[in-house]
Amino acid sequence: MRQWLLPALAIAMLTQFSGCTESAGPAGIPGGSRLVDENKNQLVFTATEPGTLYLHDQGANRVILEQPLTPGQQFALDSRAGKAMLDGKELAIKDLQPLAVYQLFFKPASKREYHPAYNP
């Protein structure tokens, strides 16, 4: 009778914790974010609601900029020129590479990240 107990317990534990091992997206990008632009050279995004913009270096798999935005603010990136602008003002971002592929993700302030402990 005890022979089935250990496998059943193992299956129950794997089922319970399997959601915690899944990745929501690229490294450093919180759940609830959406991809809004992707390109090698130029990216542009204008916020329609408050939230946070994430500039992700796809090759290095890391976030190089996390920027809060309010409605109407515009972010623009020209990686060839090594410039990033927010509403026409230059932002200092080190590690911009002219040939890298960048992705812009936006997470609205109203969007909560899904977590099994918060949303069973």
- Show the tokens assigned to 28: 């450093």
The confidence band for 38, taking pLDDT boundaries of 50, 70 and 90, is very high
| Total-model pTM | 0.72
| CA nearest to 106, candidates 46, 54, 58, 56 | 54
- CA 92 to CA 111: how far, in whole Å? 28
Q: pLDDT of 6-24, one tens digit each?
A: 454 444 444 444 433 334 5
DSSP H or E run through 49: none
Q: What would the pLDDT profile of 55-105 be if each residue is shown by its tens digit?
A: 999 999 999 999 999 999 999 999 888 899 999 999 988 888 888 899 999
Would you place residue 2 in the very low, low, confident or very high pLDDT band (cuts 50, 70, 90)? low
